[in-house]
Amino acid sequence: MGAALIIARRDLMSFFTSIKGASIFFFFLIFMGVFFQNFVATFAELTAQAPQHGGEAPTLEQLTRAIFYNLHFILILIVPAVTMSAFSEEKRNHAFRLLQTSPVTSLQIVLGKFLASTSLLGFVLLASTVYPMFTVLYGNPDVGVILSSYLGIFLLMCGQVAFGIWISSMTSNQFIAFLFTMFGIFMLMILNWLAPHITGGGTLENVAKYVASTEHLDSFFKGLITVKSTMYFLCFSAMFLFFTNVALDSQRWR
Amino acid sequence: MIEVTGLSKSFGTLQALDDVTFTVEKGQIVGFLGANGAGKTTTMDILCGCIGADQGTAKICGYDINEQPLEAKKRLGYLPDEPPLHLEMKVRAYIEYAAKLRGLKGTKIQERTNYVLGKLEIADVSHRIIGNLSKGYRQRVALAQAIVHDPEVLVLDEPTEGLDPTQIAHIRDLIRSLAPEHTIILSSHILTEVQNTCDHIVIIHKGKLIRQGSYEEIVKEAESGGVYRLKVAKNEQALIGAISGFKGIKYSNFNQEDGEIEFGLEANDFDTLDLIGSKVIEGGYGLRELTLKTRSLEDVFFQITK
């Protein structure tokens, strides 16, 4: 684990010593801010209109859920931007030879890269708390739901990072790594909507829905931390970390 | 220290290495010589665990690079042909990172970092970003990462590539100064560099090991009888025909620029040499010079790889 932490620390520092880290924070907070401002404006408008039209006013839970769905969507762009360089960049500039010739295992390298990316994205998630914080300051939302939503997003993000570094381990082209990771994460998000159309129903549809990340995330967004959904994200992450390890080992023999 | 046995590697249809076997003793500097694409980098990559061999074994200090990679890599420092640098890092931070990866701990990290910064004369740029340094400095930083953990075996792939003559001389001196405590393999296609730096030479050509030994041994084997230079006063072309006809002559040719005839003897056949001398005098060609030519590694390399 020691070597994994050394690798993770270096990679994390490199995000912050280059413009990459700052750019990720900048675009993430801009996107989140713009959407948040729109959600709040709509929320205020609907609340004001509710008594006049005799309908129900929207709840703060609906607002916070909208924020988290939005966060889920923005991760489609942010996660590939972080993971694309995990291996691709070092392979392109030959710095990967340093790791290959050091007394560290492939698993330590994979864990180091995974920890670096999840740490950076963890800081990004931490920065995003400013938006739900407003709802706490100016309303009375269920804090438990907010916390479980964050746990769900974090677990999802771990799975996405594992998938992203797997893609990055197979190419030295960062752009290709970005595109394929984004495509994979997007497919995972829409799989439960596509499932009825591509499977023809039955067991296959249920399997496709189980594989889709959105189904599992929904339970966290409702404030439910279930073993089934937690295990889904943990297994998903472990599977792609294993694939990355296999990819690194197999590349020695090509 | 280094044992390479029956190493073979192919990339698709290209046979990059074919049954390469050699050993390197402790404290030796071995020059790995070959043209571009001969298989030098492939051998070094296999030796350092970057790629796997199709057949054969490579051992570092008795540890097989495939069976016990961590033990082997602890004793190994590698400078690849492309320096493995993180260009966004500062020099000191990078060397410390390499030291930690190689298992150094506590005060030893600072101690060894300061030592290599001084040894490679890069202490003055230790707080600069690597990407802003010149090629010469970058190459020295890359060499620093290879020696920071004081490895028993150093593998240097074209360490002076792209450096100016002063930097080449500095790196050459440095490699020599490391030799007593380290076993070093260095590859190069600059023949004089290998000739001047190494105790032992391995020549590889189209994936096959074709010669190995000391410089003197390789030259002696290639000459096998010697190459002579003959300078006469007149009618050189007629004399070449006559020399070619003698028994024991491997080849003869006329160098237009120097006005010299060069011929190779199959063995130290002094009778043939006497005959040639007599022919020159009796034929009235006017003997000006007849000397045994000392051959450079370059001459030998071209002869055995053509």
ipTM: 0.86
DSSP letter assigned to residue B123: G
Mean pLDDT, residues A199-217:
81
Contacts of B82 in chain A (CB under 8 A): 94, 97
pLDDT at A214: 84
- Residue B256 pLDDT > 90: no
Q: Where are the alpha helices (DSSP H) in chain A?
A: 2-17, 19-53, 60-83, 88-92, 96-100, 106-128, 130-138, 143-169, 174-199, 202-211, 213-221, 227-251
Architecture (CATH level 2) of domain B1-75+151-213: 3-Layer(aba) Sandwich (3.40)
In A, minimum Cα distance to B105 occurs at A2
Contacts of A7 in chain B (CB under 8 A): 101
∠A105-A12-A117 over CA atoms, to 5°? 75
- Window 17-36 of A: residues touching B by CB (8 A cutoff) are 17-18
Contacts of A17 in chain B (CB under 8 A): 88-89
**Given pLDDT bands bounded at 50, 70 and 90, which one contains residue B303?**
low
The count of structural domains within chain A is: 1
Note every long-range contact of A52-60, with CB atoms under 8 Å and residues 24 or more positions apart, other chains counting: A60/A135, A60/A139, A60/A140, A60/A141
pLDDT at B222: 64
**Given pLDDT bands bounded at 50, 70 and 90, which one contains residue A166?**
very high
How far is the C-alpha of B82 from the C-alpha of A172, rounded, in Å? 15
Best B101, B147, B148, B149 member to test A by mutation, with max A CBs in 10 Å, is B101
Domain spans in chain B, listed from the N-terminal domain onward: 1-75+151-213, 84-146, 224-305
**Given pLDDT bands bounded at 50, 70 and 90, which one contains residue B237?**
confident
**Given pLDDT bands bounded at 50, 70 and 90, which one contains residue A137?**
confident
Question: Could you tell me the fold of the domain covering B224-305?
Answer: Alpha-Beta Plaits (3.30.70)
- Residue B277 pLDDT > 80: yes
**Given pLDDT bands bounded at 50, 70 and 90, which one contains residue A192?**
confident
Among A117-126, A135-144, A197-206, B28-37, which range has the highest average pLDDT?
A117-126
Nearest to B84 among A3, A94, A103 (CB): A94
How far is the C-alpha of B61 from the C-alpha of B59, rounded, in Å? 6
Question: Does B101 contact A253 at a Cβ distance shorter than 8 Å?
Answer: no
Backbone phi and psi for residue B211, each to the nearest 5 degrees, phi listed first = -150, 150
Question: Does A95 contact B80 at a Cβ distance shorter than 8 Å?
Answer: no
Tens digits of per-residue pLDDT, B63-92? 999 899 999 999 999 999 899 999 999 999
Residue B26's SS3 state is coil
In B, minimum Cα distance to A104 occurs at B70
**Which residues touch A15 (CB under 8 Å, ≥6 apart)?**
A21, A24, A82, A116, A120
Contacts of A3 in chain B (CB under 8 A): 101
Q: Considering chain B, what is the average pLDDT of its residues?
A: 86
Domain that holds residue A41: 2-251
**For residue B285, which of B257, B261, B250, B249 has the smallest C-alpha distance?**
B261
How far is the C-alpha of A186 from the C-alpha of A175, rounded, in Å? 16
Q: Do B152 and B77 contact (CB within 8 A), yes or no?
A: no
